[in-house]
Amino acid sequence: MTVFRPRATLASLALWAPLALAACGGGTAGGGGAGATPSGDILSLMQARGLSEADVSAALMTYTPTGKHDEYLTFASGGHGGQLLVIGVPSMRIIKYVGVFTPEPWQGYATGDVATERVLDGGNRFGKRVEWGDMHHPALSETGGDYDGQFIFVGDKANARVAVVGLSDFMTRQIVTSELIQSDHGAAFVTPNTDYVIETSQYPAPLGGGYAPIEEFNEKYRGAAIFWKFDRQRGRIDPTASWAIELPPYMQDLADAGKLVSDGWAFMNSVNSERSYGGNLEGRPSLESGASQGDMDYLHCINWRKAEELVKAGRTTTIVGMKVISLEVAAAEGVLFFVPEPKSPHGVDITPDGKDIVVGGKLDTHATVFSFEKIAALASAKKFVGKDPYGVPILDFKESIRGQCEIGLGPLHTQFDGNGFAYTSVFIESVVAKWSLKDLKVVHKLPMHYNIGHLCAAEGDTVSPDGKYLIGMNKWAMDRFSPVGPLLPQNFQLIDISGAGDMNLLYDMPIPLGEPHYAQMIKADKIKAIEYYTPVGTNPITHEKDPNATLAKQERIERRADGVHVWMTAVRSHFTPDTIRVKEGETVHLHITSVEQAFDATHGFALGSYDINLSIEPGRHCDVTFVADRAGVFPYYCTEFCSALHLEMAGYLLVEPKS
């Protein structure tokens, strides 16, 4: 049994001294230090729970007492769950799920509510609704390269969609998609003032969604980078002002926008310069082995400011409604350059000063640090070592890099603190490697459990990262949590990176949803969320008073040419009207307004068998349209326990049979 002796780190915790004093029932004031002795109560608690001194130290750094808020909010992708997760840091409490690519009944998102159904329909592919998405990379809106807390954008890899989520109410406002591309991965990434949201395809296919035999892969299959124009005033992407650049049929991977000195450029890496397209039952090598034959792939460097000029000058062709700069034009006009990068790279991350581009090697043991200054100089001097088969100029690898950091097995993604250190996830080795950007030397490795993918540091993608916290987003959980069958959660591990030296593991948090890929962590006080919708009857998508908003005493039922309209209000603890009579086969339009203006006084509206569930937050207006095609008696009720008479907040839809 080890005797508990507070270390300097423990004693230096601001929380520690008061806790020790309180626990000792007063004790001697004297600034904590080595003199602060834990009470018998704390010692026995530690013994009973088998906690070490390091455990208690970690607990003190993450424990967030009742009523206290977290310093940071992390927005994590919910992977193929299609939802966005909001997590408090350092407590690692899940605060919200935001329905984005998937209907979310609790929020009344696309489960009958017309406004949100339309948002989801914005992402329809080839005329069909898609009710799930594979969310990979959230990107907070930026002003001057810093997160501004207004919006967050996310990409759906499977269906090539990008969504806009408003952070005044954490609602998905818009989903856009272009059939130009059939998948994405380099999405979503924003330029430093959120002029553009970048979405880059992953798996090459004929542009626009047509068919071409796979044997014509090199000739007919292409990638593309879409630059979605964001209209901050309207809080919407403007598809008509958006454009794309055609790319060769390599598999473009992650992207990042330049900042400060490299503002105006975007970078994305790629795998499969071999242009392997599989066929392992047809006598060709499998896609995977064919794609990893060569030693180098291509880092794509895009001068998007120049591309923007070409678009303005009309140097585009239009494919499925999207203006596209052809590969030929992009290569000839100095928009697109390639730099070789080590075998099967994965992450590409721009340093906070915008000077360097860090690429993780995946099948290489290095993080390669490319110099923007060198790349830009070679590009403008037209100093090329050759061209790829599509005429894209290639710069010399050695002349483009500042150096390489020997990281370990399988470096993927990199984040930064504000103190000159980079943190790279090392997938195969299952560690986070902390290394110095100055001399490119690893200073510490912290084991992860297990197989880390992305990592996310406080304000980590901005021009001024905070350091402090890092989250390792681990792909496997294995023995970390209670067994729950073969499908296990993933494990987000919170790491203290505040010190100049070693990193410290603080907390394990299971993520029982999708496969979260990436996250961004923002200072919580940057987010100005509303407490309720005002004025009463606000449509949460337009943020304007809805034309069908219903105030108290305006409730009514009218029969019109297009069906039965019900203008309804919800308030603690009744719906008005609470009796709705219709005939079988009639179309029913419900216009429901919560006339509440009280914080957290949310009502729900569930109409079972008709597949309708709404969340009617205070002041929110919801519309529903359905055909009453089943005769019978259908209760509707409030799904949020809103008051002592919540159970009585109900009514009946009476559908009278035709005959």
Q: Which residue is nearest to ligand CUK (CB)?
A: 453
Query: Taking the complex as a whole, how short is the minimal distance between the CB of residue 347 and ligand CUK, in angstroms?
Result: 6
At a CB cut-off of 8 Å and minimum separation 6, what does 320 contact? 178, 179, 180, 208, 209
Query: Taking the complex as a whole, how short is the minimal distance between the CB of residue 97 and ligand CUA, in angstroms?
Result: 21
Identify which of residues 259 and 346 has a Cβ nearer to ligand CUK in the complex: 346
The answer to whether 228 and 196 are in contact (CB under 8 A) is yes
Helix (H, G, I), strand (E, B) or coil at 104: strand
- 39 CB-contact burial (10 Å; exposed 0-12 / middle 13-18 / buried 19+): middle
Identify which of residues 410 and 537 has a Cβ nearer to ligand CUK in the complex: 410
Torsion region of 173: left, alpha or beta (phi above 0 gives left; psi -120 to 50 gives alpha):
alpha
Based on the shown chain and the rule CB under 6 A, indicate whether residue 189 belongs to the binding site for ligand CUK.
Answer: no
What SS3 string covers 173-185?
EEEEECCCCCCCC
> Which of ligand CUA, ligand CUK, none sits in contact with 412, Cβ below 5 to 8 A by type?
ligand CUK
Query: Taking the complex as a whole, how short is the minimal distance between the CB of residue 601 and ligand CUA, in angstroms?
Result: 8
Query: Taking the complex as a whole, how short is the minimal distance between the CB of residue 132 and ligand CUK, in angstroms?
Result: 16
Q: Which uninterrupted H or E stretch holds 322?
A: strand 322-325
Query: Taking the complex as a whole, how short is the minimal distance between the CB of residue 387 and ligand CUK, in angstroms?
Result: 29
* Max Cα–Cα distance, the chain, nearest Å: 87
Amino acid letter, residue 64: T
Q: What are phi and psi of 518, to 5 degrees?
A: -135, 160
> Which of ligand CUK, ligand CUA, none sits in contact with 35, Cβ below 5 to 8 A by type?
none
> Which of ligand CUK, ligand CUA, none sits in contact with 173, Cβ below 5 to 8 A by type?
none
> Which of ligand CUK, ligand CUA, none sits in contact with 90, Cβ below 5 to 8 A by type?
none
Identify which of residues 23 and 642 has a Cβ nearer to ligand CUA in the complex: 642
Based on the shown chain and the rule CB under 6 A, indicate whether residue 137 belongs to the binding site for ligand CUK.
Answer: yes
Query: Taking the complex as a whole, how short is the minimal distance between the CB of residue 265 and ligand CUK, in angstroms?
Result: 20
> Which of ligand CUA, ligand CUK, none sits in contact with 603, Cβ below 5 to 8 A by type?
ligand CUA
Identify which of residues 424 and 539 has a Cβ nearer to ligand CUK in the complex: 424
Q: What are phi and psi of 560, to 5 degrees?
A: -125, 175
Where in 361-400 does DSSP place strands (E)? 366-371, 386-387, 393-394
Q: Which of 362, 434, 517, 603 binds ligand CUK (CB under 6 A)?
A: 517
Identify which of residues 456 and 638 has a Cβ nearer to ligand CUA in the complex: 638
Based on the shown chain and the rule CB under 6 A, indicate whether residue 161 belongs to the binding site for ligand CUK.
Answer: no
Q: Which of 16, 518, 567, 636 binds ligand CUK (CB under 6 A)?
A: 518
C-alpha separations of 325 from 182, 220, 389, 590 in Å: 18, 16, 18, 46
> Which of ligand CUA, ligand CUK, none sits in contact with 137, Cβ below 5 to 8 A by type?
ligand CUK
Identify which of residues 455 and 638 has a Cβ nearer to ligand CUA in the complex: 638
Q: What does DSSP say about strands 348-350 and 336-342: parallel, antiparallel, or unpaired?
A: unpaired
169 is written with which tokens? 């109410």
> Which of ligand CUA, ligand CUK, none sits in contact with 518, Cβ below 5 to 8 A by type?
ligand CUK
The answer to whether 435 and 422 are in contact (CB under 8 A) is yes
Based on the shown chain and the rule CB under 6 A, indicate whether residue 453 belongs to the binding site for ligand CUK.
Answer: yes
289 is written with which tokens? 């082995």
Based on the shown chain and the rule CB under 6 A, indicate whether residue 346 belongs to the binding site for ligand CUK.
Answer: yes
> Which of ligand CUK, ligand CUA, none sits in contact with 346, Cβ below 5 to 8 A by type?
ligand CUK
Torsion region of 391: left, alpha or beta (phi above 0 gives left; psi -120 to 50 gives alpha):
left
Identify which of residues 285 and 577 has a Cβ nearer to ligand CUA in the complex: 577
> Which of ligand CUK, ligand CUA, none sits in contact with 646, Cβ below 5 to 8 A by type?
ligand CUA
> Which of ligand CUK, ligand CUA, none sits in contact with 638, Cβ below 5 to 8 A by type?
ligand CUA
Identify which of residues 96 and 646 has a Cβ nearer to ligand CUA in the complex: 646
- Give the residues across from 190 on adjacent strands: 197
Based on the shown chain and the rule CB under 6 A, indicate whether residue 454 belongs to the binding site for ligand CUK.
Answer: yes
- 448 CB-contact burial (10 Å; exposed 0-12 / middle 13-18 / buried 19+): buried
Identify which of residues 627 and 645 has a Cβ nearer to ligand CUA in the complex: 645
Query: Taking the complex as a whole, how short is the minimal distance between the CB of residue 580 and ligand CUA, in angstroms?
Result: 17
**Nearest partner of 339 among 375, 293, 304, judged by Cα:** 375
For 391-446, the DSSP string reads --EE--HHHHEEEEEE--S-EEEEEE-TTSEEEEEETTTTEEEEEETTT--EEEEE
Count of CA atoms in the C-beta half-sphere (13 A) of 7? 9
Based on the shown chain and the rule CB under 6 A, indicate whether residue 173 belongs to the binding site for ligand CUK.
Answer: no
Helix (H, G, I), strand (E, B) or coil at 349: strand
Query: Taking the complex as a whole, how short is the minimal distance between the CB of residue 572 and ligand CUA, in angstroms?
Result: 6
> Which of ligand CUA, ligand CUK, none sits in contact with 640, Cβ below 5 to 8 A by type?
ligand CUA
Q: Interface residues with ligand CUA (CB under 6 A)?
A: 573, 603, 638, 640-642, 646, 649
Buried b (16+ CB within 10 A) or exposed e, 382-411: eeeeeebebebbbbebeebbbebbebbebb
Query: Taking the complex as a whole, how short is the minimal distance between the CB of residue 255 and ligand CUK, in angstroms?
Result: 10
Query: Taking the complex as a whole, how short is the minimal distance between the CB of residue 155 and ligand CUK, in angstroms?
Result: 9
Segment 478-481 long-range contacts (CB within 8 Å, at least 24 positions apart):
478/449, 478/450, 479/449, 480/449, 480/508, 480/510, 481/508, 481/510
Identify which of residues 200 and 400 has a Cβ nearer to ligand CUK in the complex: 200
Residues in contact with ligand CUK, counted by CB under 6 A, come to a total of 11
> Which of ligand CUK, ligand CUA, none sits in contact with 254, Cβ below 5 to 8 A by type?
ligand CUK
C-alpha span between 447 and 429 (Å, rounded) = 8
Identify which of residues 186 and 540 has a Cβ nearer to ligand CUK in the complex: 186
314 is written with which tokens? 């009309």
Return the residues of window 73-132 that contact ligand CUK according to CB under 6 A: none
Identify which of residues 412 and 638 has a Cβ nearer to ligand CUA in the complex: 638
Query: Taking the complex as a whole, how short is the minimal distance between the CB of residue 186 and ligand CUK, in angstroms?
Result: 9
Identify which of residues 252 and 639 has a Cβ nearer to ligand CUA in the complex: 639
> Which of ligand CUK, ligand CUA, none sits in contact with 642, Cβ below 5 to 8 A by type?
ligand CUA
Identify which of residues 423 and 610 has a Cβ nearer to ligand CUK in the complex: 423
How many residues belong to the chain? 659
- 524 CB-contact burial (10 Å; exposed 0-12 / middle 13-18 / buried 19+): middle
Based on the shown chain and the rule CB under 6 A, indicate whether residue 412 belongs to the binding site for ligand CUK.
Answer: yes
607 is written with which tokens? 């109409």
Interface residue list for ligand CUK (CB under 6 A): 136-137, 185, 254, 346, 412-413, 453-454, 517-518
